[in-house]
Amino acid sequence: MLTEDRITAVGEWLHDNVFWAVFVGSFTPFSDKLLVFSSAFFGVPIWTFVFAYTLGRAVRTYPAALLFYIYGAWIQRRIEKYIEIVSIVFVVVIVLALVRLFFLPGLK
């Protein structure tokens, strides 16, 4: 359940990782409304939010646009079919790499 302690813990985590939280949230195919409202609720600085959100959307959109330009309709059908899966896999890989980097630094 949602308790005040859990909400406070999420707020503290968000303040410690604000750029990455917004970047990953903007890259995934999940609802933008949840990202915007939670960022506003927890007081994310506006310019950090705008920069991370814009960068996340650009990372998701521009490679697809480049592929559309180069390969045309053939690749467009495939990207539209698999974009959510590829986005989620990309985010999982980034999260696992960050966990490995920050929480398991001695692991070789």
Q: What is the pTM assigned to this prediction? A: 0.62
At residue 45, the pLDDT reads 87
Q: List pLDDT tens digits, range 89-102.
A: 877 887 888 777 77
Tell me the C-alpha distance between 25 and 32, whole Å.
8
Neighbours of 36 (CB within 10 A): 16
Q: List pLDDT tens digits, range 26-79.
A: 877 666 777 888 888 888 888 988 998 899 888 878 887 888 889 888 888 887
Distances (CA, A) of 15 to 27, 42, 48, 99, 108: 19, 8, 11, 17, 30
At residue 38, the pLDDT reads 80
